[in-house]
Amino acid sequence: MQQVKIIHELWENIPLLHVVPDDAEGKKLPTVIFLHGHMSAKEHNLHYAYQLAGKGIRVLLPDAHLHGEREEGQDAIQMSLRFWEIVLTSIEEIGNIHRMAEEKQLVEGEPAVAGTSMGGITTLGALTVHPWISTAAIMMGSASYVDLASAQMSQFESRGFTLPITPEERAGMLRTLAQFDGTKKIDSYAKRPLFFWHGEQDIIVPFAPTFDFYKKLEAAYGEEAEEKLRFIREKETGHAVSRPGMLAATEWLADHLKK
């Protein structure tokens, strides 16, 4: 595997790690924008970036809103209540990162987007509004924005918390999330190559809704599904991507970006 360079950069207001083969910093390369999970940070996914950069891929790992270098002292409950604000901000910022990467003449072809947990959820939403995404890898993600948000709110209330929004604001938030809900916008995926990994014992992002969505994608992709879709499930695994899952995801991204 070739040498890899990690560069800390600030793109507008977005701190990111720019990971690239050591001899190719200024060259146009196939590119992945890689998104981290909730309460995590960009550097926690460097093992994915290392594998990808070793295959000749540029990787951009941004800190999500309120995460990593952008933390604002929120506790876990406050962060959970702002989960969807963070996701929607990241969907917008992915577009800004793509624009800046193009302006810097760094990208060969169209970029991929990938992510774990919240990053996987964000990736599935981004695919509904960013047609330039060429391929994606979703680890422990969900496309069911409305159902997931509704379940989260019900869970908060069952634990005795009062949500700081009115019923009207709740309905408005769900209407907004429906605009990015892949289960309602399957045609927007436009038969792009997609990789999924999910542990069947995941209690944070439940397995069943994601697998059900994948089966709907298979039907929509028709004869192209065998070539363009892959779902790896691990029966005894929870909310943590295994090493074989990580390696399969990076292999998928490299193979499809270099086609």
Q: How many residues does the chain have?
A: 259
According to DSSP, the residues that pair with 19 across neighbouring strands are 6, 59
Element (H, E) at 112: strand 112-116
pLDDT of residue 168: 85
Give the list of residues 6+ apart from residue 184 with CB closer than 8 angstroms, or none.
146, 178
Structure tokens at 149: 């948000």
Pairing of strands 58-62, 31-35: parallel
Distance CA 153, CA 56 (A): 42
- Across the chain, mean pLDDT equals 94
Q: Are 25 and 3 in contact (CB under 8 A)?
A: no
pLDDT of residue 213: 97
Provide the CB-side half-sphere exposure for 121 (13 A, CA): 26
pLDDT of residue 110: 96
- SS3 of 95, please? helix
Judge whether residue 51 has pLDDT over 70: yes
- Residue range 3-44, pLDDT digits in tens: 899 999 999 999 999 999 988 888 999 999 999 999 999 999
Q: Are 1 and 22 in contact (CB under 8 A)?
A: no
**Side chain identity, residue 8:** H
- SS3 of 176, please? helix
pLDDT of residue 164: 72
At residue 131 the predicted structure's pLDDT band, cuts being 50, 70 and 90, is: very high
pLDDT of residue 178: 95
pLDDT of residue 120: 98
Give the list of residues 6+ apart from residue 73 with CB closer than 8 angstroms, or none.
none
Average pLDDT over residues 64-80: 86
- Residue range 100-128, pLDDT digits in tens: 999 999 999 999 999 999 999 999 999 99
Q: When comparing pLDDT for 1 and 67, which is higher?
A: 67
- SS3 of 23, please? coil
pTM over 0.85: yes
Distance CA 199, CA 40 (A): 19
Structure tokens at 68: 């990593």
Average pLDDT over residues 141-162: 85
pLDDT of residue 105: 96
Q: When comparing pLDDT for 133 and 172, which is higher?
A: 133
Judge whether residue 136 has pLDDT over 70: yes
Q: Which residues of 170-193 are buried (b: 16+ CB within 10 A; e: fewer)?
A: eeebbeebeebbbbbbbeebeebb
pLDDT of residue 1: 60
pLDDT of residue 190: 96
Largest pairwise CA distance in the chain:
55
